[in-house]
C-alpha cells in the first residue's frame, strides 16, 4: 500500500494516454474524423492530461467547470482548480460539430494527430471574465491575457483519448518523468518528505536560497530530497544540475520535467503547480516563477 498522499481530487492517477499498442489504430481511426487544431498552449494541456498530471480531469472543461474555475477556483463538483483547461475553436468550426460528435485533435503547427475527443459541450467564452479572474487584468499587453484573447470564441468540452506525447520523451530522455514514474521513484527511495523546486529561468541567488531552505526543512542532516520540474532552456537545465550537485546528495536528489505551459498568472499558477502529483503543499512561493514547495 502506498504511503504517498493520493492524487489531487482522486483515489488514483488518471492518465489519458492510450497504451502504446492501441495508439496506431486510434490514429488511423482519427484520420476519418473532423479535425480540431490545437494551439501550443492546448497541446501542452493535452500532454498533461495524457500523463495524468491534470488528474482528476478527463478532458477539456465543460462550461460549468470553466466558470467555476474562473469565479471560485474550483470545478463544478467542488474540487479545487484555479486555472481553466480549455480547448477553443472558431465559430465556423464549432457550428459544424454536433453534440456527442467525436473529433480528432491535431497540432496546429504540424498537423500531427495527438488525440481524439467526444464533444459534450460547446459554449461561448467570456474572455474578460477569464482574464480578470485568472490574471487580474484585461490588458492585452499581459502575455497570458494575450493568449486568451487569441483564442477562438467557442470552447469545446469533452473527454479525450491521447495518442502522442510529442517529442518530449525522446528530446528529454532521462528527464521526462510522468507522475506515475515520479511517485514510483519516491516509493523506491523511501522518501517521506519531498520538496520541489521549479522555475523557467536559470537559478538565481534567491532560488538557491529557497532550495537550501527546503533541504533544511526536509532533512536537517543535509541529506535533502529534491525534485526539479518543468522544461526550460538548455542553460537553465544546466544551472539546475550544477546547483543540485552542490546542494543535494546523489541518492536524495532527482531532476525531472513536465510538458507544462507557463500560465504567467502569479499565485494561481503556483497553486496549479502545487496540485500536480505527487500533490506538493505550498511551502514558499516565488510569485510568477513559482519557486518552492514542501509536502
Q: What is the reported pLDDT for 190?
A: 81
CA distance to 86, 170, 190, per residue, from 178 (Å): 21, 13, 18
> Do the beta carbons of residue 270 and residue 282 sit within 8 Å?
yes
Q: Full-prediction pTM beyond 0.85? A: no
Tell me which residues are annotated as active site. Answer: 200-201
Q: What is the reported pLDDT for 161?
A: 98
Domains within the chain, CATH numbers bracketed: 20-164 (3.10.400.10), 170-294 (3.40.50.620)
Q: How far is CA 228 from the centre of its chain?
A: 14
Q: How far is CA 77 from the centre of its chain?
A: 20
Q: How far is CA 137 from the centre of its chain?
A: 23
* Mean of the per-residue pLDDT values of the chain: 81
Instruction: Tell me the per-residue pLDDT of 198-212, one tens digit each, with 9 for 90 and over.
Output: 666 677 778 778 777
Element (H, E) at 227: strand 226-229
CA distance to 168, 199, 241, 242, 269, per residue, from 236 (Å): 17, 9, 9, 10, 20
What's the whole-number mean pLDDT along residues 256-270?
A: 60
Instruction: Tell me the per-residue pLDDT of 9-48, one tens digit each, with 9 for 90 and over.
Output: 999 999 999 999 999 999 999 999 999 999 999 999 999 9
Instruction: Tell me the per-residue pLDDT of 128-170, one tens digit each, with 9 for 90 and over.
Output: 999 999 999 999 999 999 999 999 999 999 999 999 999 989 9
Question: Is residue 276 exposed (0-12), middle (13-18) or buried (19+ Cβ within 10 Å)?
Answer: buried
Amino acid at each position: 500500500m502506498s504511503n504517498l498522499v493520493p492524487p489531487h481530487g482522486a483515489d488514483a492517477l488518471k492518465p489519458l494516454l492510450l497504451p502504446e499498442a492501441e495508439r496506431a489504430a486510434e490514429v488511423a481511426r482519427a484520420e476519418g474524423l473532423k479535425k480540431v487544431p490545437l494551439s501550443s498552449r492546448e497541446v501542452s494541456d493535452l500532454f498533461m492530461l495524457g500523463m495524468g498530471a491534470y488528474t482528476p480531469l478527463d478532458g477539456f472543461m465543460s462550461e460549468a467547470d470553466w466558470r467555476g474555475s474562473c469565479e471560485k477556483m474550483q470545478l463544478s463538483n467542488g474540487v479545487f482548480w484555479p486555472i481553466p483547461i480549455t480547448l477553443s475553436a472558431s465559430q465556423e468550426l464549432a457550428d459544424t460539430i454536433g453534440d456527442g460528435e467525436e473529433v480528432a485533435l491535431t497540432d496546429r503547427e504540424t498537423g500531427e494527430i495527438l488525440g481524439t475527443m467526444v464533444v459534450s459541450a460547446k459554449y461561448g467564452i467570456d474572455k474578460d471574465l477569464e482574464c480578470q479572474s485568472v490574471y487580474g487584468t484585461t490588458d492585452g499587453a499581459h502575455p497570458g491575457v494575450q493568449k486568451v484573447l487569441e483564442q477562438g470564441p467557442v470552447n469545446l468540452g469533452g473527454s479525450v483519448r491521447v495518442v502522442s506525447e510529442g517529442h518530449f520523451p525522446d528530446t528529454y530522455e532521462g528527464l521526462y518523468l510522468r507522475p506515475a514514474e515520479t511517485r514510483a521513484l519516491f516509493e523506491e527511495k523511501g522518501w517521506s518528505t519531498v520538496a520541489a523546486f521549479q522555475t523557467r529561468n536559470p537559478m538565481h541567488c534567491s532560488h538557491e536560497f529557497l532550495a537550501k531552505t527546503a533541504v533544511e526543512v526536509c532533512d536537517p542532516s543535509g541529506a535533502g530530497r529534491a525534485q526539479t520540474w518543468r522544461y526550460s532552456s538548455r542553460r537553465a537545465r544546466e544551472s539546475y544540475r550544477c546547483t543540485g550537485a552542490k546542494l543535494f546528495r546523489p541518492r536524495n536528489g532527482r531532476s525531472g520535467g513536465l510538458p507544462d505551459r507557463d500560465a504567467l498568472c502569479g499565485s494561481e499558477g503556483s497553486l496549479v503547480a502545487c496540485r500536480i502529483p505527487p500533490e506538493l503543499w505550498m511551502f514558499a512561493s516565488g510569485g510568477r516563477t513559482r519557486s518552492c514547495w514542501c509536502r
